[in-house]
Amino acid sequence: MTLTFTKYQGLGNDFILVDNRSSQEPLITPEQAEKLCDRHFGIGADGVIFALPGQNGTDYTMRIYNSDGSEPEMCGNGIRCMARFIADLEGDQAKASYTIHTLAGLITPTLTEDGQVRVDMGHPRLMSSEIPTTIPTEKVIDQPLEVAGQSWNVTCVSMGNPHCITFVEDVAAIDLEKIGPLFEHHPVFPARTNTEFLQVVRPDYIKMRVWERGAGITLACGTGACASLVAAVLNGKADRQATIELPGGPLRIEWAEDDRIFMTGPATRVFGGKVEV
């Protein structure tokens, strides 16, 4: 079959967007998505995102396949791209704000006048069972974890998807290619995990590098930036509003007093096309 797609990117975290309004199920399989994400034999992307009809009274439903074909619950950069994509699809009918159902619950992106997308990401979850992790404390805040023969102090936060955060002196010095997979597949994370390495430069400015579950090294991770701010606040290292500097550029993250997280950043159309799957 021929699939019509549009590519978008948010800080270099890139996605193939599919207009899936005609069906409740994604138009392609996880295996087909994995092939399309391949940077040499396919279109190239960190994941495929499907804009499906809404559920529970929402405007749309978002589903996503990672570049390895696995399905995460949520995707922060992806939902900014999806908001821009549906506004582009709807043209004159486009709204400033959309309600989107995801496997992590209701997410609400707003297209702002300065061309950014601000997303109400909902609440962070901290209970070990919600991450999920088998690290034997109720919450995992600054707990030791043995990885690659070294002890790391980790904090675990779920933004619907799992994140393991650790603070380092110099993010540039981390051998992500080697260490990332060892965190992702560590036996204490039954659903695997995304891993963020943070260098706190100032309480309102943090550098972050990420190894993503199912996608490896990416230039940015929205849910990861949100989880990182929460972890930095819980460890007494950051303000509740900060800029998270990713290899692909900065994201503005805010942990509001009512416990909701807001993420603000760009989302840009790259190109569209048709591909045989």
Catalytic residue positions?
75, 221
Q: Which residues contact 5 (CB under 8 A, 6 or more apart)?
A: 16, 17, 18, 36, 43, 272, 273, 274, 275
Round to the nearest angstrom and report the end-to-end CA distance of the chain. 6
Nearer to ligand ZDP, 10 or 87 (CB): 10
Q: Per residue in 63-86, is it b (16+ CB within 10 Å) or e — as a string?
A: bbbbbebbebbbbbbbbbbbbbbb
Nearer to ligand ZDP, 30 or 274 (CB): 30
- Residue 218 as a binder of ligand ZDP (CB under 6 A): the answer is yes
- Residue 214 as a binder of ligand ZDP (CB under 6 A): the answer is yes
- Residue 243 as a binder of ligand ZDP (CB under 6 A): the answer is no
**Residues between 91 and 110 with contacts to ligand ZDP, criterion CB under 6 A:** none
- Residue 212 as a binder of ligand ZDP (CB under 6 A): the answer is yes
CA distance 232 to 41: 39
How far lies 214's CA from each of 26, 141, 224, in Å? 18, 24, 14
| Residue 183: its H or E element | helix 176-184
CA angle 209, 272, 110 (to 5 degrees): 60
**Residues between 52 and 71 with contacts to ligand ZDP, criterion CB under 6 A:** 66
CA angle 173, 162, 264 (to 5 degrees): 75
Nearer to ligand ZDP, 38 or 202 (CB): 38
Nearer to ligand ZDP, 78 or 250 (CB): 78
Q: Which residue from 82, 119, 221, 242 is in contact with ligand ZDP, where contact means CB under 6 A?
A: 221
**Residues between 142 and 181 with contacts to ligand ZDP, criterion CB under 6 A:** 161
Number of residues that bind ligand ZDP (CB under 6 A): 18
Q: Which one of 50-58, 75-83, 106-114, 146-154 is the stretch in contact with ligand ZDP (CB under 6 A)?
A: 75-83
Nearer to ligand ZDP, 28 or 45 (CB): 45
Q: Which chain residues interact with ligand ZDP by CB under 6 A?
A: 13, 66, 72, 75-78, 161, 194, 212-215, 218, 221-224
